[in-house]
Chains A and B, each alone.
Chain A
Amino acid sequence: EDQVTQSPEALRLQEGESSSLNCSYTVSGLRGLFWYRQDPGKGPEFLFTLYSAGEEKEKERLKATLTKKESFLHITAPKPEDSATYLCAVRGFKSSGSARQLTFGSGTQLTVLP
């Protein structure tokens, strides 16, 4: 069974204060690791997909990186509009060789203060 653990549960930053969110995972073969952003009262919004260790993806102030055991979402010089819950999800393989569906972590609630 795939497992995802995100830390910290909550993070408060001052505007411009860079930091990282962590996503540790356990899968029997990684088919993909996904980052989503969720604003209050809305559905998750897709950010990135990473497939192999060493891969990096960037979007504005966000950069996602991947190792064999964890992923980091780096936030550089955050702004108040970056405040949201960030969800990590993994897709692994079943014993049959077919791919599982997404398993989500519990998320990191990020607050960026002006």
Chain B
Amino acid sequence: DAGVIQSPRHEVTEMGQEVTLRCKPISGHNSLFWYRQTMMRGLELLIYFNNNVPIDDSGMPEDRFSAKMPNASFSTLKIQPSEPRDSAVYFCASRTSRGGGSYEQYFGPGTRLTVT
């Protein structure tokens, strides 16, 4: 069974350019999370969706960041315009909230973004 899929795995771009990160959650999962990981701040939640609807985007650092989930199997995180301080590893995670149970999230391999 495929896990969470993210693309690209690595992205190098110049300051001011638009960057789009992509995520395919595990089939059947109805919650999706975008995280950012840096050495200074660790793993931070940016935004999460339930049933394709954004629930909490309070972690999105500023208006340059936006996220969409047009259907249950695809989400994007867009940065426009990008800045060097956006350099980080961006993770997507998914889980199912159906049927109760524990709250474990399943993470993708991440996208390493470098903005020069």
Contact = CB atoms under 8 A, between A and B. Distances in A.
Interface residues of B, number: 19
B105 A102 contact: yes
A42 B89 CA distance: 10
Given A42-B110, A43-B93, A101-B33, A49 B43 contact: no
A42 B109 contact: yes
B108 interface: yes
Contacts, number: 41
Interface residues of A, number: 18
Contacts of B102: 32, 49
Given A41-B109, A49-B104, 9 more contacts: A42-B109, A42-B110, A43-B93, A44-B107, A49-B103, A91-B103, A101-B33, A104-B42, A104-B43
Interface of A: 31-32, 34, 41-46, 49, 87, 91, 101-102, 104-107
